[in-house]
Chains A and B, each alone.
Chain A
Amino acid sequence: MNKLFVRQLEKARGSTGEVDLDALGRLVSAEYEQTAVDRRRTDRSISQMIEELDQLNRELEGVVKERTGQLRQREQEFHAALENMSQGLIMFDASARVVVCNERYMQMYALSPEVAQPGHTLRELIDHRLANGTFAGDADQYTEELRAGIARDDTSRLITELADGRTISVVNRRMANGGWVATHEDITERRDAEKKIAHMARHDVVTDLPNRVLLRERLGEALASVKRGARLGVLYVDLDRFKAVNDTLGHPVGDELLRMVAQRLRGCVRQTDTIARVGGDEFAIIQADIEGPQCTSQLAARICDAIRAPYEIDGHTAIVDASIGISLSPDDSVEPDTLIKNADMALYRVKAEGRGTYRFFEPEMDARMHARRKLELALRSALANREFEVHYQPIVNLADNTIASCEALMRWNHPDLGMIPPSEFIPLAEEIGLIVQLGEWIIRQACNDAMQWPEHTRVAVNLSPIQVMSTNLMPVVVNALAASGLSPGRLELEITEAVLMQNTEATIATLHRLRNLGVHITMDDFGTGYSSLSYLRSFPFEKIKIDRSFVKGMDSGEESEAIVRAVAGLAQNLRMTTTAEGVETERQMEQVRTLGCTEMQGFLFSPPVRVRDVDRLFAMERRSQAGAA
């Protein structure tokens, strides 16, 4: 019998042991009812659960679909990113097996997709690279060091040189799973460019010689390794007349000349010496480990000879000279900068004293340099301090012995140093660019002074080459004339051959404009330079001044006399006035008059005098004319 029914029967049995059928019926009925409720409840809950699970299932399917789509898209994006990288990328798992690898990586190392496919080991890749020549080195050592580096650092970098010459930068980044990602970048071009830039920073572009920076470094190194008892020479080489070559034949020719000079210098020095280009036309040489100064002077002489030989460039022939300044270590200094400075100073002296040779540094050069610097400072303030004066030297008409004109000559009356001769301060003023201002000042002063003189007398002012080239010469002259009220016909501007040697076309144009203004243009010191007749043809000068050396020379030889005669004759034919400079004796005066000169200038008549003394000379002249009348 059913266990429950037995229990129900038991429960329905009364105290007498008889079964109460009503009670049993209630129990059985209740159980039926309960079972029915249970069944309905179970049905309901199961269908509810099925519905719920179904719904969940649908949601999950949706999620899976969405995630799958996202995953696929991410995969595509990842693939696109991977394949569009300029670097090669390869990922390894913890056991050094390939997880993923991009096309670029395979290209870099000429690997086939089969070789680089997931699952292959690092060592297998290296073996393939060894075979195809894209790996140089010990494969065991490489893999060992790579694994050790990854175990040690989160990120490790290395640069490898491939057998084919490429340079590859490799960055390995460790991943959380023990594997790593390696990015390989071909940095060959970047490396080359960096090397080139580094080279350019320390070399001259034109000659490929070391530049000043590298010179300084090499000198430091050379000084550090000079053997005991040995010397080191620093030679500063300046090319004379290089600027003229550059200006007349153009920069390409100039550059070629520099290259040829560099080549010749290389031929003069030893392998261990350093040649550098330190400026436009300046070179420096470090002559390391020499026994004595004679080695350096021999080298300097060799260089002078080598440089002096003509250069044939594009059908042109160019000739330059070398001036060389030399300093020695330890004699002059053991400091690189001082050695360079001293060599430069010695070079300055060579240039000041007539180029084309060499000189060793001497301590007094330094003193002179200091003196020059002091003078330079004084000169810069002299104009403001009204330390300049104009002196005038009369030029006399040889026909009637009257003063035809006066040449304005600048004097510097320094409060402490006294009178400083123009030969000292004019070159300095030219060098430091003060000449334009001084020139302007003297033109104005001369025009003003001349206004006090008899109307037939002119005033002559010297123009320096720099002044003529300066664009403000015309306005300066026009303003000076206007301010003073002097007639342009009473102003003479004297230029030397040097003016015509530079920038000829522009210079001639300027001279023409001045001449058109009514100003007279004079060729000064004729005979001291090239004395080329082409200069006389290039511009219609009104006057030629024959240099004092010819006048002086007339006493000792016929050569000078012939020259004076020729020039005077030439001038006469060209309808020019001629002035003989430096006439000091009656005899010289008679000679130049006889030879055809129209004017003379010199101590015989008057030295340069202050303006008030000029006035006195005019007064005397007026009195003598009155007396003669």
Chain B
Amino acid sequence: MHVEQFEWSKPKGWSSRGTVDNADLVLYFGSREGLACGARYRELREMLPRAHILGCSTGGQIRNHDITDDEVVAAALKFEATPLRLACEQVKVPESSRACGEAIGRALHAPDLAGVFVLSDGLNVNGSELVAGIAGVVGRKIPLTGGLAGDGAKFEETVVGANCAPRSRTVAAVGFYGNAVRIGHGSAGGWDEFGPRRHITKSRGNVLLELDGKPALDLYERYLGEEDIKGLPGTALLFPLRIRDPERPDHDIVRTVLAVDREARSMTFAGDMPQGWVGQLMRGNFDRLSAGAGNAAQQACAKLGERGKSAEIAVLVSCIGRRLLMGQHVADEIEAAGAEIGTDVPRLGFYSYGEISPHSASGVCELHNQTMTVTTITEAVGGLG
């Protein structure tokens, strides 16, 4: 397996034409404005005509230890013995998210499927349903990682493209096949519980209406104050909501806000907000969030380490909420993850509206929020032969 990183910036264009001429897969991430025109895709296609080209808009791009907003970052991957397959679906309404996931799952399902990396629209998809749809078809044991595309802190439109110019309302995934490829994954938050526990007393799917019988938006506005209310829904990410089923108290999930409805006083989250579950606000401490990112990277490497291999590329998907909170300190978490992965391993990623990874405790693939998720990929050819 061979990996080459390159990037595009407005003044300089693409840094490299890509020495991996016959790359199998290109992953690329950029701002919505930078990708939506389709020029970057066309340039990549021209450079690497054989490769599957998969990318999405973000809330900031990660390239090794750098975080940029104006560059487009990319990595070309050449596999020695791992067939790939690409699937792409359109999601017309969020309610069809599960059906979309099932369609992707069907397109990728095969006995030798070894893992799936998925990129999804970040605003028009119920991520929980999408993940459940894919996992339901390919099986819960297949590692399913990836993330929801971002749009900076604007929450207006996200785009995803797979072998085409990136578009809105798109879900795309690449499947890795065969027994050579190794995929590791890790996910961690590092957030601190904050304030009293609350009950979800009224919700509809991923729309939260009431906590403890009071409008959910009232609570957030009270905590944010006038200064931050103007920044909604982005500022709501400063106080993510951790939820759990009272019947399974050890299995908790962090949810992040995608949109608010000031009229209905409701908030739309990236995943389901089941009525009757318990919720608790969280707040971040820079050090512990960075430690969380390190923890995720450690998990992802440990998974590969079990098989005596180290990563050849690490894909980092971290939540936009973490970046909004940490500001310039966000580089700390990228550094913490890099330290675990190894600074010689190419690291590529983006700030997302939702992360997809198996749950660290249960192993069940889920949509996460406010986490750092790390996917490590390597190939074990020859070494095993």
Listed stretches B70-78, B83-91, B294-302, B326-334; interface member: B326-334
Residues of A within 8 A of B331 (CB): 4, 7
* In contact, A49 and B194 (Cβ under 8 angstroms): yes
Partner of A40, one of B194, B223, B225: B225
Does A193 make an interface contact (CB < 8 A)?
Answer: no
* In contact, A45 and B283 (Cβ under 8 angstroms): yes
Does A34 make an interface contact (CB < 8 A)?
Answer: yes
How many angstroms between the C-alpha atoms of A41 and B225 in the bound complex? 8
Does A52 make an interface contact (CB < 8 A)?
Answer: yes
Closest residue of chain A to B226 (Cβ to Cβ) is A44
How many angstroms between the C-alpha atoms of A41 and B195 in the bound complex? 15
* In contact, A44 and B328 (Cβ under 8 angstroms): no
Task: Known A34-B327, A45-B239, A48-B222; judge A53-B227 contact (CB<8 A).
Answer: no
* In contact, A53 and B195 (Cβ under 8 angstroms): yes
Residues of A within 8 A of B225 (CB): 40-41, 44
Partner of B195, one of A4, A30, A49: A49
Does B252 make an interface contact (CB < 8 A)?
Answer: no
Residues of chain A at the chain B interface (Cβ within 8 Å): 3-4, 7-8, 27, 30-31, 34, 37-38, 40-42, 44-45, 48-49, 52-53, 56
Mind listing 24 A-B residue pairs with CB under 8 Å? A3-B332, A4-B329, A4-B331, A7-B331, A8-B328, A27-B328, A30-B328, A31-B328, A37-B227, A40-B225, A40-B227, A41-B225, A41-B227, A42-B283, A44-B225, A45-B223, A48-B223, A49-B194, A49-B195, A49-B223, A52-B195, A52-B196, A53-B195, A53-B196
CB distance from A8 to the nearest CB of B (A): 7
Residues of A within 8 A of B239 (CB): 45
A-B pairs, top 7 by smallest CB distance, nearest first, are A34-B327, A49-B195, A44-B225, A45-B223, A48-B223, A31-B328, A56-B196
Interface size on B, residues (CB 8 A): 17
Residues of chain B at the chain A interface (Cβ within 8 Å): 194-196, 222-225, 227-228, 238-239, 283, 327-329, 331-332
CB distance from A74 to the nearest CB of B (A): 27
Residues of B within 8 A of A27 (CB): 328
Closest residue of chain B to A8 (Cβ to Cβ) is B328
How many angstroms between the C-alpha atoms of A4 and B283 in the bound complex? 21
Closest residue of chain B to A42 (Cβ to Cβ) is B283
How many angstroms between the C-alpha atoms of A4 and B194 in the bound complex? 27
How many angstroms between the C-alpha atoms of A4 and B224 in the bound complex? 26
* In contact, B328 and A7 (Cβ under 8 angstroms): yes
* In contact, A45 and B328 (Cβ under 8 angstroms): no
Known: A3-B332, A42-B283, A45-B283. 5 other contacts (CB 8 A): A7-B328, A31-B328, A38-B327, A49-B194, A52-B196
CB distance from B332 to the nearest CB of A (A): 8
How many angstroms between the C-alpha atoms of A56 and B225 in the bound complex? 21
Closest residue of chain B to A57 (Cβ to Cβ) is B196
How many angstroms between the C-alpha atoms of A38 and B331 in the bound complex? 17
How many angstroms between the C-alpha atoms of A48 and B328 in the bound complex? 26
Closest residue of chain A to B238 (Cβ to Cβ) is A41
Residues of B within 8 A of A44 (CB): 223-225
Closest residue of chain A to B332 (Cβ to Cβ) is A3
Closest residue of chain B to A7 (Cβ to Cβ) is B331
How many angstroms between the C-alpha atoms of A40 and B238 in the bound complex? 13
CB distance from B298 to the nearest CB of A (A): 21
How many angstroms between the C-alpha atoms of A201 and B199 in the bound complex? 70
How many angstroms between the C-alpha atoms of A45 and B195 in the bound complex? 9
How many angstroms between the C-alpha atoms of A44 and B227 in the bound complex? 11
CB distance from B132 to the nearest CB of A (A): 33
CB distance from B299 to the nearest CB of A (A): 25
How many angstroms between the C-alpha atoms of A468 and B331 in the bound complex? 134
CB distance from B6 to the nearest CB of A (A): 19
How many angstroms between the C-alpha atoms of A38 and B239 in the bound complex? 12
* In contact, A34 and B196 (Cβ under 8 angstroms): no
Residues of A within 8 A of B195 (CB): 49, 52-53
How many angstroms between the C-alpha atoms of A71 and B217 in the bound complex? 38
Task: Known A8-B328, A34-B327, A48-B223; judge A41-B196 contact (CB<8 A).
Answer: no
How many angstroms between the C-alpha atoms of A7 and B327 in the bound complex? 13
Which of B225, B239, B328, B329 has most A Cβ within 10 Å? B328
CB distance from B248 to the nearest CB of A (A): 25
CB distance from A41 to the nearest CB of B (A): 6
